[in-house]
Amino acid sequence: MREINIGLLGCGTVGTGVAKILIENRELIRSRVGTPLVLKRVADIDLNKERGISFDEGVFTSDAQKVVDDPEIDIIIEMIGGNGISKDLILRAIKNGKQVVTANKALIAGQGNALFKAAADKGVDLAYEASVGGCIPIIKTLRESLVGNHIKSMTGILNGTCNYILSKITDDGSTFEEALSEAQARGYAEADPTLDVEGFDTAHKLAIIMSLAYGMEINLKDIYIEGISKISPMDIEFAGQFGYRIKLLVISKNKGDRVEARVHPTMIPFDNLLSNVNGTLNAITISGDAVGDILLYGHGAGMLPTASAVISDTVDIARNILTGTHGRIPLLSYQMENIKKIPVMPVDEISTHYYFRFSAADRPGVLSKVSGILGNHDISIKSVHQKGRKSNGSVPIVMLTHIAKEANVQKALTKIVCLDVMCDRPVLIRIEDEDGQDLI
Amino acid sequence: MREINIGLLGCGTVGTGVAKILIENRELIRSRVGTPLVLKRVADIDLNKERGISFDEGVFTSDAQKVVDDPEIDIIIEMIGGNGISKDLILRAIKNGKQVVTANKALIAGQGNALFKAAADKGVDLAYEASVGGCIPIIKTLRESLVGNHIKSMTGILNGTCNYILSKITDDGSTFEEALSEAQARGYAEADPTLDVEGFDTAHKLAIIMSLAYGMEINLKDIYIEGISKISPMDIEFAGQFGYRIKLLVISKNKGDRVEARVHPTMIPFDNLLSNVNGTLNAITISGDAVGDILLYGHGAGMLPTASAVISDTVDIARNILTGTHGRIPLLSYQMENIKKIPVMPVDEISTHYYFRFSAADRPGVLSKVSGILGNHDISIKSVHQKGRKSNGSVPIVMLTHIAKEANVQKALTKIVCLDVMCDRPVLIRIEDEDGQDLI
């Protein structure tokens, strides 16, 4: 059998991992695929960085375009990331008839519809398993293992940085700022952590898997996004007292003609497996009409775990090349002509359980005023806890609600915030609980 | 595109689930695959059973052989199970050049080597995702997603019946017999529960995934098997006091030139995700050199979850037919010529932590005698608890050990059992703990 030649664009952390696996596990991969996967060319602007790999002469280059144009290359692995030159290089590779593997979630979430169309028109594959959940086979599971299922909902932890920070606040009582510094010191968070902690990276991933699950065009802009930067140790402590942990979740529910799609800090009960997913780990629960709930768990980032998913895609494509096929599995799980524009439900229209924490003056009648406003907005209180006075004289009042409508909640909070007894903005955290929900 | 015609052999629980998904989710599957999957023929000896499905005229037959010989059928789905006629029908289907999907773990574990050879010789696929872990994509993950990884170990709960019984004893304090009756009443256990509760079904599954993970011939006979019928509520309670839950686990470790392969009740710490997998649910942790640990979780049995995995295999094969390929992925994950006979380590040679419970007469010097014998066999005690006297006058002495050799443990127990102060056979339960192990 012929060899499969690979061109790698970008040799940063994950790119280096891909090169390492291709070189160190070359014999293993050959024994499974039946032919060697040869790392023919590697392009990176940094020629001098120590990567712990000795490439053969002539493999390393600073000219990515030369790799994309090399007629001997079968598969291009794009590991540059971001929205810059990576898109042009991928499009050029597609134009040259090459198969492409990428882990670039920002690019797929933002411009996937156009990229997939270009690939389908040219009849090449564009694989992206590593763009969601690192090594966890989420995309393969959605496109292949659950192919007979209507997907009902997905709930997951898909950002290791946020999960590390929340775990750190929960376990050590750190503030958000302390936990973030620690994450940065360990290399789990970027110098500018906005993309992670404000939930944008998580939303990129949700946009991709929603499309695969429901057969809809990729739609990033309508996802409701709320990050974790306002989560305080106090709310995590109260959550614990009620039997919940706070996680930054992706939540998506199939409502037939519309879908729910949101990323926000969420309280989930201790006995939900997701609440035991800590540190930088990721996990997702997918609910299908035949399978019920399945959960997939593993490292959502890191050099070798992410590279493992890239290799999985690369081998899938190599097997297509060796058997003379392409387009075996539709790029977005559904046949192009069956992909619809399914509207995302405005967050105002969702219904869920809520946690509120009000900081109120310690005066008679406060509770009655607050609960009166909630009652007037059809929000039924499940439990109330008024805790000891804080140093500034205010009292935290914590409430958990039954299922309520988000629009009503927002209206009620707008009124509550105007009460003269309120000392601070109220805290709202949504709860995913078992009654009436699809969680495990 | 042409239609894909399917012949279903066996319309019991899972077979009915397969038919239901093919009929009820037909439009969904078509929108993903691009062509309809048509259930052309269904064979079952019971023509009158109410299945909640109305088959078109001429679909249902009692003659399985006629289905296998029907030239219009592309894919045969074998859902008869067991070691009887199913093997002959599969071999005949292969001989007729048909693709085959099965969920028959007993057949694959017992005679897979011959079946896979027959399929490879004829150039057809034989798919069996549903044979291990129901709807959980364990086989796809091992063969495809982890293709770049040396698999280091696997630890899993792969029998829903046993997991239900152990959960019931743990949560309700039932005896084994009570929990088994409850499982039978709910349809989770067979009238003759031996295959499940004595660990044989679990071993079938381990034999299959070991082969896929390490590239070895399927070897059922060398797996060490111990069932759960001797697990008492007392040991589950002691386990809880030490921070452990008891689960029937498959444990397999890659030791390079040999592999560990065992099925036995095992204590695992509360913070291991597997200890939170309860009821009839299944889960597996797979450890690879690139991914670290990943965990997959879901329904390991049941009509629709198992059928979902069968549909996944059927669609994979349909896609191969539509793109004119076969043999895209080697049946046992490695190319035939790379599959080795890797010896399974005798259980005597493993090393692990142990839990012992001795029932001894309440007399001075007992502890010294027992610990003396353990010490003489190089077994170092980590903690000892002597609990209140039992009604028959004996005292339970519970010990946890550091890592010790199984052969030494067996020798020591043989000596301890001969002590005149011993009132009953000692209980031994192996522990998988984090120090020195690969678990999460």
Nearest to B42 by CA among B124, B128, B20: B20
What number of other Cβ atoms are within 10 A of residue A18's Cβ?
31
Which residues of A have a catalytic role annotated?
205
End-to-end Cα, chain A, rounded Å: 47
Distance, in Å, from the CA atom of A428 to the CA atom of A163, rounded to the nearest integer, reads 19
Pick from A21, A282, A291 the residue to mutate for testing the B interface (most B CBs within 10 Å): A291
Nearest to A424 by CA among A387, A397, A404: A397
B321 CB within 8 Å of a chain A CB? no
Cβ A334 vs Cβ A143: under 8 Å:
no
- pLDDT, residue B405, reads 97
The helix/strand/coil state of B19 is helix
| DSSP secondary structure letter of residue B142 | I
User: Measured in whole angstroms, how far is the alpha carbon of residue B217 from the centre of its chain?
Assistant: 17
Provide CB contacts within 8 A for B302, sequence distance 6+: A292, B17, B134, B280
Q: Give chain A's residues under pLDDT 70.
A: 1, 388-392, 434-440
Q: Are residues B111 and B61 located together in one domain of the fold? A: yes
pLDDT of residue A437: 39
Mean pLDDT of B10-39: 97
A193 and A80 fall within a common domain: no
- Estimate to the nearest angstrom the gap between the alpha carbon of A300 and the chain centroid: 9
Is residue B48 pLDDT above 90, yes or no?
A: no
Q: Does residue A306 contact residue A164 with C-beta atoms inside 8 Å?
A: no
Buried b (16+ CB within 10 A) or exposed e, B337-359: ebbeebebbebeebebbbbbbbb
Question: Where does the pLDDT of residue B436 fall: very low under 50, low under 70, confident under 90, or very high at 90 and above?
Answer: very low
Q: Is B214 on the interface with A (CB under 8 A)?
A: no
SS3 state at A103: coil
Q: What is the pTM of this model?
A: 0.96
With tokens 């003396």, the residue in question is: B372
Maximal C-alpha separation, chain B: 83
Residues A176 and A277 both lie in one domain: yes
CB B272 within 8 A of CB B223: no
Q: Which region holds residue B358: left if phi is over 0, alpha if psi is between -120 and 50, else beta?
A: beta
Euclidean distance between the first and the last CA atom of chain B, given in angstroms as a whole number: 46
Which pLDDT tens digit goes with each residue over B160-211? Answer: 999 999 999 999 999 999 999 999 999 999 889 999 999 999 999 999 999 9
Interface size, chain A vs chain B, as Cβ–Cβ contacts under 8 Å: 211
Q: Is B335 helix (H, G, I), strand (E, B) or coil?
A: coil
A289 and A307 in one domain?
A: no
| Count of C-beta atoms within a 10 Å radius of residue A389 | 11
The DSSP secondary structure of B220-248, one letter per residue, reads -TTSEE--STT--HHHHHHHHHTTEEEEE
| DSSP secondary structure, A389-404, as one string | PPTTSEEEEEEEESSE
Helices A85-95 and A105-122, packing angle to 10 deg: 20
The reply to whether residue A28 touches residue B290, judged by beta carbons under 8 angstroms, is no
SS3 (DSSP) at B49: coil
Burial A280-306 (b: 16+ CB within 10 A, else e): bbbbbbbbbbbbbbbbbbbbbbbbbbb
Does one domain contain both A114 and A155? no
- Which amino acid would we find at residue A233? P
Spell B66-76 as b/e; 16+ CB within 10 A means b.
Answer: ebbebeebbbb
Secondary structure of residue A118 in the 3-state scheme = helix
d(CA B174, CA B193) in angstroms, rounded, equals 17
Interface contact flag, A305 B290, Cβ < 8 Å: yes
Strand partners, A224: A262
Instruction: State how far the Cα of A302 lies from the Cα of B292, in Å rounded to an integer.
Output: 10
Looking at residue B438, its pLDDT comes to 36
- Given this model, what pLDDT does residue A440 score? 33
How confident is the model at residue A438, as a pLDDT? 37
Same domain, yes or no: A97 and A48: yes
Percent of chain B with pLDDT over 90: 89
Q: Between the CA of residue A429 and those of A62, A336, A368, what are the distances in Å?
A: 48, 38, 22
Are residues B309 and B77 in contact, defined by beta-carbon separation less than 8 angstroms? no
- Give the β-pairing of B126-127 and B99-102: parallel
Q: Quick one: pLDDT at residue A439?
A: 35
Q: Who's near B326: CB < 8 A, 6+ residues apart?
A: A323, B99, B123, B124, B125, B320
Our count of domains for chain A comes to: 3
List the structure tokens of A272: 């939900």
Q: Calculate ∠ Cα A179-A163-A192, nearest 5°.
A: 60
Q: Which residues pair with B285 in a beta bridge?
A: B155, B295
* Per-residue confidence (pLDDT) for residue A389, from 0 to 100: 67
| pLDDT of res. B362 | 86
Which residues on A lie below 8 Å from B37 (Cβ)? none
CA distance B36 to A323: 23
Output the pLDDT for position B123. 94
pLDDT tier, B437 (very low <50, low <70, confident <90, very high otherwise): very low
- The residues, ordered by sequence, that sit 6+ positions from A272 with a Cβ below 8 Å of its Cβ are A432, A434, A439, A440
Q: Are residues A273 and A380 in the same domain?
A: no
Lowest-pLDDT range of A28-32, B83-87, B129-133: B83-87
Q: Counting Cβ atoms within 10 Å, is residue A74 exposed (0-12), middle (13-18) or buried (19+)?
A: buried
Separation CA A50–CA B368 (nearest Å): 59
Would you state the structure tokens that stand for residue B366, as one six-digit string? 């007992």
Q: Is residue A81 part of a domain?
A: yes
Residue A228 within any structural domain of the chain = yes
DSSP state of A136: S
Q: Which residues contact A25 (CB under 8 A, 6 or more apart)?
A: B148, B149, B150, B289, B290
Residue labelled with tokens 């896929």: B212
In order, the DSSP letters of A17-37 are HHHHHHHHTHHHHHHHHSS-E
Q: Are B431 and B355 in contact (CB under 8 A)?
A: yes
A18 in any annotated domain: yes
Q: Which of B87, B105, B205, B253 is catalytic?
A: B205
A148 and A260: one domain? Answer: yes
Searching chain A, which residue's CA lies closest to the CA of residue B277?
A273
Angle at Cα A35 formed by Cα A30 and Cα A38, nearest 5°? 80
Q: At what angle do helices A200-214 and A105-122 cross, to 10 degrees?
A: 30
The residue whose two tokens read 């049941």 is B302
Using a 10 angstrom Cβ sphere, with 0-12 exposed, 13-18 middle and 19 or more buried, the burial of residue B312 is: buried
Read off the amino acid at residue B63.
D
Asked if residue B205 and residue B164 are part of one domain, the reply reads yes
Verify that B75 and B192 share a domain, yes or no. Answer: no
User: Which residue, B299, B330, B363, sits at the end of a domain?
Assistant: B299
Name which of A21, A34, A299 is nearest B335 (Cβ-Cβ).
Answer: A34
Q: A residues 252-311 near B, CB within 8 Å? A: 271, 273, 276-277, 283, 288-299, 302, 304-305, 307-309, 311
The mean predicted confidence, pLDDT, of chain B is 94
Is pLDDT above 90 for B379?
Answer: yes
Tokens standing for B319? 């896609």
Q: How confident is the model at residue B439 (pLDDT cuts 50, 70, 90)?
A: very low
CB B335 to CB A294 under 8 A? no
The first and second tokens of residue A103, run together, are: 């882990």
Domain end position, chosen among A286, A316, A338: A338
**CATH of residue B43:** 3.40.50.720
Out of B28, B299, B334, the one facing A291 most closely (by C-beta) is B299
Q: Is A388 left (phi over 0), alpha (psi -120 to 50) or beta?
A: beta
Which residue, B145, B143, B131, is CA-closest to B100?
Answer: B131
Q: Judge: B323–A327 Cβ closer than 8 Å, yes or no.
A: yes
Print the domain residue range for B278. 138-299
pLDDT value of residue B166: 97
| CA dist., res. B254 & res. B248, Å (int) | 20
Q: Which of A146, A165, A149 is nearest to A157 (CA)?
A: A165
Of A318-327, B126-135, B140-149, the range with the lowest mean pLDDT is: A318-327
Q: What is the CATH number of the domain that holds B201?
A: 3.30.360.10
Sequence letter at residue A401? T
User: Residue A439 domain-assigned?
Assistant: no
Among partner residues A32, A289, A291, which is closest to B147 by beta-carbon distance?
A32
Residues B260 and B364 in one domain: no
Quote the crossing angle between the two packed helices B200-214 and B105-122, to the nearest 10°.
30
Could you tell me if B154 lies within 8 Å of chain A, comparing CB atoms?
Answer: no
CATH of the domain at A387: 3.30.70.260
Q: Give the type of residue at A71.
A: P
Q: Verify that A219 and A286 share a domain, yes or no.
A: yes
Judging contacts by C-beta atoms under 8 Å, the chain A residues touching residue B334 are 31-32
B290–A304 CB contact, under 8 Å: yes
- Whether residue A118 is contained in a domain is answered as yes
Q: Is A135 on the interface with B (CB under 8 A)?
A: yes
* B183 lies in some domain: yes
